[in-house]
Amino acid sequence: MIKTLSKLLDKKLHIQLGVITKLHGVKGDVVLEFCSDNYDINEMEPIFVEIDNYLVPFFIIPNSVRNVNSTSVSFSLDTIKDQLHASYICGKKVFVPKNKLITSYDNETESNLGFIGFRIIDVKHGELGEITDFMDIANNPLFEIKNGKTEILVPINGIEIISVDEDQNTIEIKTPDGLIDIYLEK
């Protein structure tokens, strides 16, 4: 039970969905601004609000989610009943488990987004860094990998995936000769 709870609240297993930017109405509804235009919210799953560096779970009241604009939604939370309590979470980051992230991409793209946060290990160069984004460019989708201050773009079509370890959040790949050298040369 404790291990399950600690995994549920482990920030490394979550991805930022957005930020609660303001109140909406007088009954304690809040507005969530998404980090990406492609994110969406599942009202059947809890969201996790970062409060004092801890992830605190909240449940969305079913059928309360409303689009505010293309990048934000408003909703009610089960334990927040008024503006005063809602104001405590304004400006706070909202996270969801990486495996529960919903996007408006197609199925193939959605499965690639599930790799955000995974560490990439190249057979020749070793650990390259962490996948921070997936760029859905027609005929040339890319993983964006953060390596210190360097951003490495790796075309998915140009790599050989050797293994995927979901327990360790790692992907071992073999990249075309010279691709990684371009980024790592000083």
Q: Higher confidence at residue 186 or residue 41? A: 41
In whole angstroms, what separates CA 103 from the centre of its chain?
10
pLDDT of residue 90: 95
CA–CA separation, 18 vs 32, rounded Å?
A: 6
pLDDT of residue 106: 40
pLDDT, tens digit (0-9, with 9 covering 90-100), for 61-98: 988 988 888 788 999 999 998 999 999 999 999 998 87
For the chain, domains (ranges, CATH) are 2-103 (2.40.30.60), 107-184 (2.30.30.240)
Residues 145, 131 contacting (CB under 8 angstroms): yes
Closest by CA to 153, choosing from 170, 167, 140, is 140
Inform me whether the pLDDT recorded for 9 exceeds 60: yes
Phi/psi at 158 (nearest 5 deg)?
-100, 5
Give the rounded percent of residues in the chain with a pLDDT score beyond 70: 83
Residues 120, 145 contacting (CB under 8 angstroms): yes
Phi/psi at 93 (nearest 5 deg)?
-75, 145
Q: Is 65 exposed, middle or buried (0-12, 13-18, 19+ CB in 10 A)?
A: middle
Residue 53 token pair = 């560096």
pLDDT, tens digit (0-9, with 9 covering 90-100), for 90-144: 999 999 887 766 654 444 444 445 678 889 999 999 999 998 887 777 677 888 8
